[in-house]
Copies of this chain bind each other. A is one copy, B any other.
């Protein structure tokens, strides 16, 4: 047995594996001293497939540290087959089914739920429409239909507007536009004219000058655009503008797009 080997972690699912990965990884953050080799095996829909997965896991178990296995398989036959593997099984569905059956007074369907499938078609279509909207309204490209936006992110260039907008659209189905703040906006201490009717939908981003300067230098090294002085000026001006117009804002320097999106939903009171 090779004791230096990483501990394998399997995320098993009869569907995409997203839920198993999400909860599994959240649990693993509680054990920061460990290093893991993560393997996702999605679409395990037959007992035969489950048997070959068990062989893979048993093979890993024989070769190194005991594997951890997070599973969201729903069918009881598949769950039973998987439970025979030589790993520590965390059965994310089986654990809770009884408790929920009691609470809801009804039986679990036992059918793969496709939580990440099309689900409610209208809701799915609206998420896809949100992605399209975000693409069209990225970086102030289009002023058309701004009244449809649920939120408009404003910030100087390279503060994280685009990925945050995409995340709001793709994950939460929020109609989000984003708009760059540029030198001229700061000169007259005003919002871009086209945003004025929508100030209550605006949410500002800022960051730290050093961080912004580094990110901009990846694009244009040595430019005044990337200089610490220019970055500091733009961020201070943007923050003053947010304060002046009562626009809520967030420093993106040490938070992820997921955290920014959650904060924006909460502060702007958006239903997703």
| B128 touching A163, Cβ below 8 Å | yes
Indicate whether A53 reaches chain B with its CB closer than 8 angstroms.
no
- Size range of the interface on A? 35 or more
Identical chains bound together, number: 2
Is A254 part of the contact surface with B, judged by Cβ < 8 Å? yes
Contact with B along A228-272 (1 / 0, CB 8 A): 000000000000000000000000001111110111011000000
Distance (Å) between the CB of A72 and the closest chain B CB? Answer: 6
Contact between A103 and B22 (Cβ–Cβ < 8 Å)?
A: no
A3 touches B (CB below 8 Å): no
Q: Are A263 and B43 in contact (CB under 8 A)?
A: yes
Expressed in whole angstroms, the Cα–Cα distance for A119 and B25 within the complex equals: 11
Contact B132 A135 (CB under 8 A): no
Question: Which one of A23, A32, A66 has the highest number of Cβ atoms from chain B below 10 Å of its Cβ?
Answer: A23
Residues of chain A in range 41-63 having any CB-CB distance to chain B below 8 Å:
42-43
A106 touches B256 (CB 8 A): no
User: Is B118's CB under 8 angstroms from A256's CB?
Assistant: yes
Docked-complex contact B43 and A262, CB < 8 angstroms: yes
Q: Does A2 contact B (CB under 8 A)?
A: no
* Chain A contacts to B: CB under 8 angstroms: 7, 15-19, 22-23, 25-27, 29-34, 40, 42-43, 66, 68, 72, 74, 88, 90, 92-93, 95-97, 99-100, 103-104, 106, 108-111, 113-119, 124, 128, 131-132, 135, 138, 160, 162-163, 166-167, 170-171, 254-259, 261-263, 265-266
